[in-house]
Structure 1
């Protein structure tokens, strides 16, 4: 009897492990939150979890922030990571120590070399050090309509996400981006970029997929297309 119960228990454990879904973690951009992914729909074989930002400690760099955010990731089961903009940079860092099945970047950069010249310029002349966080947040509100050509498709969400941002978060993450020291990246990272991205122009990055008429926030404004791409990439077997 005990042997039968043990066999049944072993079967149930094995079945549960087999039936366990792969988790796909979504990391938003600097001025965004989980609402950025509201139009993304992954296949039912995946479980979706959002990485929640918090205000990093003063002095943290990209690597430290990535390590702290990674505490939200359960590494005991299969998982992949999708990151937009700043989220993609953080996903690139996480790839080094978490080794997910797949890392997919959208509207992002895999190293400081892929950031536009204005970012590298501010690294040399650190204007951001003397600009208050409230000013950085206000500037983002002003620049958003300029750098996001299709912002009007869901202006309410854009405004709401940015409105909720802590000025300290904005200032400290700007510093992280400008002082990011990564020069190399894992070639297995998959990169999706839009040809109308004015924040990180496509000409700056080595992309795998170029989305026609895709802006920096296309994950929100072109949700159906990006969902199809993500499902395609996630189901592809790694070489």
Structure 2
């Protein structure tokens, strides 16, 4: 399951042994009006046909797979660049929850800001980064973005699942490593390490899948 607003192309560099593992990718559904995270996760669970699957989620997708694991039997849950508990959120998200600030995030202006920035900023690096965002962050409906921001900020993780395997970067700017507990850390890994550090991710996934990895709780 990809991260918020991302499509499954973010997994293009994730390679496992095809003779042993079948990869199935879950794209985001459009949220229903005032849909709860629990109900949304039930709809995602209905898309999973395999018995006792191994669920892997990135960022907000990591939150979703933890919720799905409360609904269906799973073999393992692996999260990447995500959180296991609201206590791992940065202070800014905790404040946003306290003050209800998710109501004021201008999600409808995300695409407009990108286009304006690209026109007025001549930096080639900035243009490349915006083009990358457009390729991988293609889920952009205002309804979805409003719903996603709200449900990340309000997530409480009641009755958390156990033995969650957590891969995280020490330079993650969304979920800072200093607040993350019981994870396998990649030195200098960022929030997009699933894309740019796929070799390390693949190695760690293999260790987890082959049960040669210490469990994180």
Q: TM-score range by the shorter chain?
A: 0.7 to 0.9
The structural deviation recorded for 1:136 is 5.2
Cα distance in structure 2, aligned partners of 1:98 and 1:30: 22
Where in structure 2 are the equivalents of 1:79-228 lying within 5 Å? 79-135=53-109, 156-182=131-157, 185-228=160-203
Does residue 1:231 correspond to 2:206, yes or no? yes
Q: Deviations over 1:117-163 (max 9, x none)?
A: 11111112122214443135667999xxxxxxx99997643332224
The structure with the larger Rg is 1
TM-score of the aligned structures, taking structure 2 as reference length? 0.84
Specify whether residues 221 and 90 from structure 1 end up closer, same or farther in structure 2 by C-alpha distance, changes over 3 A only: same
CA distance in structure 1 between the partners assigned to 2:115 and 2:26 by the alignment: 23
1:191–1:208 Cα contact (<8 Å) kept? yes
Number of the residue aligned with 2:121:
none
Q: 1:99 to 1:141 in 2, by over 3 A?
A: farther
Asked if 2 retains the 8 angstrom alpha-carbon contact of 1:151 and 1:158, the reply is no
Alpha-carbon distance, 1:222 to partner: 0.7
Aligned length: 206
TM-score (norm 1): 0.77
Unmatched tracts of structure 2, length 5 or more: 117-124
Segments of 5+ residues of structure 1 without an aligned counterpart are: 1-26, 143-149
Does the Cα contact within 8 Å between 2:45 and 2:71 map onto a contact in 1? Answer: no
- Residue 166 of structure 1 and its aligned partner are, at CA, apart by 1.5
The structure that is helix-richer by fraction is 1
In 2 relative to 1, CA 152–207 (structure 1 residues): closer, same or farther, beyond 3 Å?
Answer: farther
Mapped partners of 1:151, 1:232: distance in 2: 36
Is the CA contact 2:7–2:138 (under 8 Å) kept in the aligned structure 1?
no
State the Cα distance separating 1:111 from its structure 2 match. 1.7
SS in 2 for 1:227: helix
Retained in 1: the 8 A contact 2:7–2:136?
A: yes
- Of 1, 26, 31, 2:5 maps to 31
CA displacement 1:43-62 (0-9 Å, x = unmatched): 22000010111221122232
